Amino acid sequence: MTSKERLRRCYFHEELDRPGVYFRTGYPGDDPTYEQVRAYIDRHTDLKSTWNTPLARLPYPVESYVEPVSQDWQRKVEILHTPAGPLRATHLHSLKGLPGMQKEHFLKSAEDAEKYLSLPLPEFRGQADSFFRQVKEMGDRGIVEAPLGPNPAGLVANLFGSETFALLSVTDRPVLHALCRRQMEINLRRLKCYLELGVGPYFQMAGEEFCVPPLHGPRDFRDFNYQYDKPVVDLIHESGGRIHIHCHGSIRKVFPHFVEMGVDVLHPIEPPPMGDLPAGEAKELAAGKITIEGNIQIAHMYEHAPQQVRQEAEQLIADAFGDRRGLIVCPTASLYQRGKGDECFQQCKAMIDAVLDWKT
């Protein structure tokens, strides 16, 4: 079975020859220590790539500039000009390769939300030649997914920051609903443009993790994730497509909503201590409707011995592949530690080999 066919069967919940095996590829940039890892992943895993769509361009500019903070940091300032007034955001960027930090979000209040809502909705048009070239270049090695951007709740949470979003979910839910409705309309417009151009059948969306326990309960998930994601998922299914969603967190209480929503592939479905849903239990709750993509913790690629990682992958297969369907063995995130690609090669290889060596 080719990787392309295997992944198709994962997304359409059909029987497999073996579990899928996949690595997210957000490696540290310009880091030669990951060359050996990249090569092994490219040769031995089921590949996926994301179309870098030229369609998703907003019709309003963001003014930006950089100002020095110290020898180690600089600040990026962004000014979003709206018909109702400007909005400002700032982000600290490391000059030493460290993770950055959002310091100031575009929205700080309901009044800021009204400014954002005054922006015109974007129009999506263009060509999809690059998508079809990418699919052709991928060939039988895998599939190409079309991004829908952040889901409504995820985008709104990022505009406010998680803390302010959570507070407004208590004090001013109508404002959040207005913003979520706006983003849902944008996602639907983008999706309809994709479909008119023949793009598909694989789509991806993320951001649901900003509205899951413990910061938000099942009611918020239903109100802000399910309500505004379901129309998008329904349109994908009506077109014959499939949807992949990325969502970290403790999702046991809201997992049935993912099933009802119609999610086809869910990543990463984390067990304790990072999450609260073991793969075996998720498999039972999914009832053949969701493919599990996960759930080997990414830190284990740096902290555990190769044999231990192999045992974790073998246990995952034992727990979630009894029906020979619905499993893509995958770390919970991209490899991320700069300068340590050589140190994690054997662990990555052990996870991959555990899948390739699997036999009924």
Round the average pLDDT of the chain to a whole number and report it.
Answer: 95
Domain map (residue ranges) of the chain: 3-59+120-356, 60-106
The per-residue DSSP string of 170-211 comes to HH-HHHHHHHHHHHHHHHHHHHHHHHHHT--SEEEEE-GGGG
Is the link from the previous residue into 52 a cis peptide, with omega within 30 of 0? no
pLDDT band at 272 (very low <50, low <70, confident <90, very high): very high
Question: In this model, does residue 56 exceed pLDDT 60?
Answer: no
Distance CA 16, CA 8 (A): 10
Residues 109-147: pLDDT tens digits? 999 999 999 999 988 888 999 999 999 999 999 999 999
Amino acid 255 reads F
Question: In this model, does residue 98 exceed pLDDT 90?
Answer: no
Residues 308-317: pLDDT tens digits? 999 999 999 9
The per-residue DSSP string of 304-347 comes to S-HHHHHHHHHHHHHHH-TTS-SEEEEESS----TT-HHHHHHH
pTM, entire model? 0.94
For position 31, what pLDDT does the model report? 93
Q: What is the percentage of the chain residues whose pLDDT exceeds 90?
A: 90
How is domain 3-59+120-356 classified at the architecture level of CATH?
Alpha-Beta Barrel (3.20)
> Which position has the token pair 């983008």?
190
Question: In this model, does residue 279 exceed pLDDT 70?
Answer: yes
Specify which residues 244 forms β-bridges with.
204, 265
Distance CA 325, CA 308 (A): 24
Question: In this model, does residue 59 exceed pLDDT 70?
Answer: no
Reference 327, options 281, 295, 290, 293; nearest CA is: 293
